[in-house]
Amino acid sequence: NNSQNIKIYEDGVQLDLDNSGITVVSSDETVATVIPNGNLAAVTGVSSGNATITVSKGTQSITIPVVIS
């Protein structure tokens, strides 16, 4: 199978979602936690505030701002 699962974001960043090696982290786990599950991750609000979720694979990464109110 030579197919690839590539996500292209609005700002042009491309992230290869295939295979292992993907990490998803929260900048502030008192605001939002991340539970990874293979190529997916659940982000859960914990308390009011701002956090950044960073998805990385190798040298590729994208950050997603999160506001919990």
Q: State residue 66's pLDDT score.
A: 92
Mean pLDDT, the chain, integer: 79
Which residue(s) pair with 22 in the sheet? 57
**Quick check: 45 pLDDT over 70?**
yes
Structure confidence at residue 2 as a pLDDT band (50, 70, 90)? very low
Give the Cα separation of 45 and 29 in Å (integer).
Answer: 9
Token code pair at residue 40: 């997916």
> CA 10 to CA 44: how far, in whole Å?
23
Rounded (10°) CA dihedral 21, 31, 9, 12: -90
